[in-house]
Amino acid sequence: MTSLILILISALFFNGIIIRVKSISAGRKGPGIMQPVKDVIRLFRKGSVYSEVAGPVFRIAPAVYLASVIVACLCVPFGHKAGLIGFRYDFVFFAYALALGKFFCIIGALDTGSSFEGMGAAREALYSMLAEPAFFLIMGSLALMTGYSSFQSIFAELHPSGPMSWALTAIAMFIFLVLAMIENSRMPVDDPKTHLELTMIHEVMVLDNSGIDLGLILLTGYLKFAMYAAIIANLFIGSIPVGFGIPVFLAVQAVCAVIIGLNESFSARFRMNHNPQFIFTLACIALLAVFGVMLMSGQLV
C-alpha cells in the first residue's frame, strides 16, 4: 500500500516537473508544476463526444487502460515491503496487465474507423512488441543475480557491492527509464507536442477522445511515468527503513522527471524508420546484463 500511495502522489507532480524543466531550458516562464493535474480536472468536467461510427470498445478503452495501469501499480513493492499483488513471477503479470491496457488502447483507436488512428495503433503495437523483450531480459537478469523471482524478493535482496553489480544496476536504471519514455511515447521515439498526423504515434491514437475519456488517458500516462520511476527507486531502497526509503523514493522520482525533461529539451526525435532499431538495441543492452550476471555467477565461462 505504501508504494501505491507514493506512486499516486508522485504522479501528481511528475509530468509537471518535466514541463517546468523544459520551460526553464527554453528560457520561458511556462506553466506551474500542477498544470497537468488542472488539465485533467478540467477535462473531467466536460462531456465526451463520440463519432457515429465508434463502437462500444472505443468508449470503454480509456477506463480499461487506466484500470490496467492501476493493477500494475499494485504489483510494485516498496523495497522489502511487497505490493498489494505479489507472488512468484509477478513481474510477468505486471507486464501483461500493462499489455492488456495497451491492447484496449490500440483496438479503441481502430474502433473509430479512422485511417490515421489505425496508422498510430500499428506503430504503437510494433514498438510495444519490440520493447517487451528488454523488460523481461532485465528482470530475468535481476532475478538471476538475486536468486528470487518476485518483485519484492528481488528488490529486497538486491544489494550492489562490486563494480560489476553497480554496472548492472546502472543498466537496469537506464532500461527502465527508456522503457518509461517508450511506453509514454516521448522523445526520442515520439514527440507529444507534434500536430502532424503522419509522424504521430500515441497522440494520433487519441484524436477522437475528448472530455473525461481524454482525461483518463492523460492520467494513465502520468501514472505510468511514476510507476516506472518507482521501479527504479526500488533498485536503491532495498531493505532500508521506510522512514529513509520515502525520501529516497521521492528523490528518485524527481531526478527521473528532470532527466526526461532535459532529454526532451536537448534531443531531437528519431526518424520513424530508426525507432525500431533503437528499441531493439535496448533489448540487446538488456541481454548484455544477462550475460554479465551469468559471468558473475560462474555460469558463463
**292 in any annotated domain:** yes
pLDDT category of residue 204 using cuts at 50, 70 and 90: confident
Confidence at residue 258, expressed as pLDDT on a 0 to 100 scale: 92
**Domains contained in the chain, number:** 1
**301 in any annotated domain:** no
Sort 214 into a burial class: Cβ within 10 Å, 0-12 / 13-18 / 19+: buried
pLDDT category of residue 196 using cuts at 50, 70 and 90: low
Q: Is the pLDDT of residue 267 over 90?
A: no
**261 in any annotated domain:** yes
Cβ–Cβ < 8 Å for 22, 265:
yes
- Average pLDDT estimate for 173-182: 89
Q: Is the pLDDT of residue 79 over 80?
A: no
Confidence at residue 228, expressed as pLDDT on a 0 to 100 scale: 92
- The overall average pLDDT reported for the chain is 85
Confidence at residue 128, expressed as pLDDT on a 0 to 100 scale: 85
Torsion sign across C-alpha atoms 78, 83, 60, 133: positive
Ranked by mean pLDDT, the top range of 21-30, 56-65, 178-187, 189-198 is 56-65
What domain range is 106 assigned to?
2-296
Let me know the angle formed at the C-alpha of 289 by 288 and 291, rounded to the nearest 5 degrees.
65
Confidence at residue 301, expressed as pLDDT on a 0 to 100 scale: 54
Confidence at residue 216, expressed as pLDDT on a 0 to 100 scale: 92
Among left, alpha and beta (phi > 0; psi -120 to 50; other), residue 126 is: alpha
Confidence at residue 197, expressed as pLDDT on a 0 to 100 scale: 63
- Average pLDDT estimate for 46-68: 88
Confidence at residue 299, expressed as pLDDT on a 0 to 100 scale: 65
Confidence at residue 98, expressed as pLDDT on a 0 to 100 scale: 92
**183 in any annotated domain:** yes
**113 in any annotated domain:** yes
Ranked by mean pLDDT, the top range of 23-27, 68-72, 196-200 is 68-72
Q: For residues 108 and 62, what is the distance between their CA atoms, to the nearest angstrom? A: 8
Confidence at residue 239, expressed as pLDDT on a 0 to 100 scale: 64
Cβ–Cβ < 8 Å for 131, 190:
no
pLDDT category of residue 104 using cuts at 50, 70 and 90: very high
Query: CB under 8 Å to 149, separation ≥6 — which residues?
Result: 88, 89, 143
**244 in any annotated domain:** yes
**58 in any annotated domain:** yes
Q: Is the pLDDT of residue 162 over 80?
A: no
pLDDT one-digit tens code per residue, 205-247: 888 888 899 999 999 989 998 999 999 998 888 767 767 788 8
Q: Is the pLDDT of residue 178 over 70?
A: yes
3-state secondary structure 244-293: HHHHHHHHHHHHHHHHHHHHHHHCCCCCHHHHHHHHHHHHHHHHHHHHHH
What nine digits make up the cell of 65? 487502460
Q: Is the pLDDT of residue 163 over 80?
A: no
Query: CB under 8 Å to 71, separation ≥6 — which residues?
Result: 85, 97
Q: Could you say which DSSP state residue 43 is in?
A: H
